[in-house]
């Protein structure tokens, strides 16, 4: 560990740094981790937070002139910056799995590829828990015309949290102007039900098999990531509700089995403990990924005895998944708000380990 970099947690099999990933990655030991499994910011301005928009990305790029870049270009440049750091820290042939947003995934993929990674695949993660992010064009028309809806009721949180200051519409109100009435029922976005997971690889050193033999990285652990009755891992995964919907629509396959058995299914637990899923107005934080899905990715991409890196640790799903799968984990998180959540996951694992 570099002397200039001190972790806030340095326990058995888990190391946590608090700080900007773009700045921390160059300080880590080169070629020291086996895989990266991460859920980075998508560049969609999540809840108006700086960490998910161009303002925050520019803060991570102090040596880059971004003054003439559009916001999407800044996001791509930022992705290239952290991907370049990952390329240095990964062993040759090491894999990266990174979740992305459907509107900005192409920018992330371009940034990762331009950093030097090989794009190997993408996994389609299909789920039923997404919330629509859409402009109400009818209300927007009333606002544009300077008219407020007297019967509209909005609840606003009175404190900052991991999701920032949040609000929700209790009663949307009736359209006031004729223009708004004509636009009643019109919006600007679909309900999200799919996220791509980028699968990329640091170029192997020499031939692939010589790289695997020397570093242990470069291949996929097919047998450990099989599902169902030994099925080969596939690049589409469902949550349980999507699987049920598929079965209702498609019925049985040629072998008389539900069609969903051809795909891995991961239960999305909406009733996970609050320590894992911080809430505002009772609505769970929407970016927490299913623990089972992350465990599946880690076991697929990481050689036995390997080290997993999570450069955007968030509430710690990847940290817990790596520990449960008996891997060493190095994690980085910029937002101090998430440190208690990360500590709670780590402490729970340490307590369970000591108890056994």
pLDDT, residue 160, reads: 53
pTM of the model: 0.86
Judgement on whether residues 312 and 230 belong to the same structural domain of the protein:
yes
Q: What is the mean pLDDT of residues 205-212?
A: 98
Q: Copy the structure tokens of residue 240.
A: 């349980």
Residue 1 belongs to a domain: no
Domain membership of residue 2 (yes or no) is no
Domain annotation covers residue 328: yes
Rounded-to-10 torsion of CA 179, 185, 187, 191: 170
Q: Give the whole-angstrom CA distance, residue 54 versus residue 43.
A: 7
Same domain, 75 and 176: no
Domain hosting 252: range is 9-132+189-355
Residue pair 349/320 in contact (Cβ under 8 Å)? The answer is: yes
Do 107 and 169 have their domain in common? Answer: no
Nearest to 95 by CA among 320, 348, 299, 287: 299
Three-state DSSP class for residue 198: strand
- List, for residues 123-170, the tens digit of each pLDDT value: 999 887 767 778 899 999 999 999 999 998 888 766 555 445 567 788
Tell me if 3 is assigned to some domain: no
Per-chain mean pLDDT for the chain: 86
Task: Classify 99 as helix, strand or coil.
Answer: strand
Q: Please say which residue of 151, 182, 213 terminates a domain.
A: 182
User: pLDDT tens across 220-245, in order?
Assistant: 999 999 988 899 999 999 888 888 87
Q: 311 and 233 share a domain?
A: yes
Overall domain count for the chain = 2
Same domain? For 200 and 342 the reply is yes
Contact of 85 with 36, CB cutoff 8 Å: no
The one-character DSSP state at 93 is E
**Residue pLDDT, tens place only, 252-290:** 777 777 878 888 888 544 434 444 454 433 433 445 788
Domain CATH number, residue 340: 3.40.50.150
Same domain, 302 and 172: no
**280 plus 196 within the same structural domain:** yes
**Together in a domain, 232 and 279:** yes
- The answer on 219 and 332 residing in a single domain is yes
């Amino acid at each position: 560990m570099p002397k200039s970099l001190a972790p806030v947690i340095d326990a058995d099999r888990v190391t946590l740094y608090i700080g900007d990933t773009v700045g921390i990655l160059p300080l880590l030991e080169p070629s020291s981790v086996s895989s990266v499994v991460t859920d980075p910011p998508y560049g969609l301005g999540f809840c108006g937070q700086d960490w998910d928009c161009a303002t925050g990305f520019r803060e991570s790029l102090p040596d880059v002139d971004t003054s003439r870049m559009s916001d999407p270009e800044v996001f791509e440049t930022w992705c290239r910056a952290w991907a370049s750091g990952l390329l240095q820290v990964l062993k040759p042939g090491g894999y990266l799995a990174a979740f992305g947003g459907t509107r900005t995934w192409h920018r992330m993929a371009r940034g990762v590829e331009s950093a030097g990674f090989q794009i190997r695949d993408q996994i389609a993660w299909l789920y039923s828990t997404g919330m629509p992010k859409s402009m109400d064009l009818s209300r927007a028309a009333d606002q544009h015309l300077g008219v407020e809806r007297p019967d509209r009721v909005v609840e606003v949180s009175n404190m900052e949290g991991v999701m920032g200051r949040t609000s929700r519409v209790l009663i949307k109100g009736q359209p006031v102007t004729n223009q708004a009435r004509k636009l009643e029922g019109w919006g600007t976005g679909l309900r999200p039900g799919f996220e791509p997971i980028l699968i990329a690889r640091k170029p192997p050193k020499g031939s692939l098999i010589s790289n695997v033999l020397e570093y242990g990285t470069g291949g996929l652990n097919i047998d450990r990531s099989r599902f169902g009755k030994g099925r080969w891992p596939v690049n589409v995964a469902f949550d349980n509700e999507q699987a049920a919907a598929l079965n209702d629509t498609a019925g049985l396959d040629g072998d008389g089995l539900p069609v969903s058995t051809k795909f891995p299914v991961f239960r999305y637990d909406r009733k996970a403990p609050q320590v894992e899923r911080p809430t505002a107005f009772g609505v769970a934080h929407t970016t927490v990924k299913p623990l089972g899905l992350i465990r599946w990715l880690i076991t697929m991409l990481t050689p036995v005895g390997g080290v997993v890196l999570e450069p955007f640790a968030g509430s710690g799903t990847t940290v817990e998944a790596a520990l449960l799968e008996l891997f060493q984990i190095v994690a980085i998180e910029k937002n101090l708000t998430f440190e208690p959540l990360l500590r709670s996951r780590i402490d729970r694992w340490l307590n369970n380990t000591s108890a056994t």
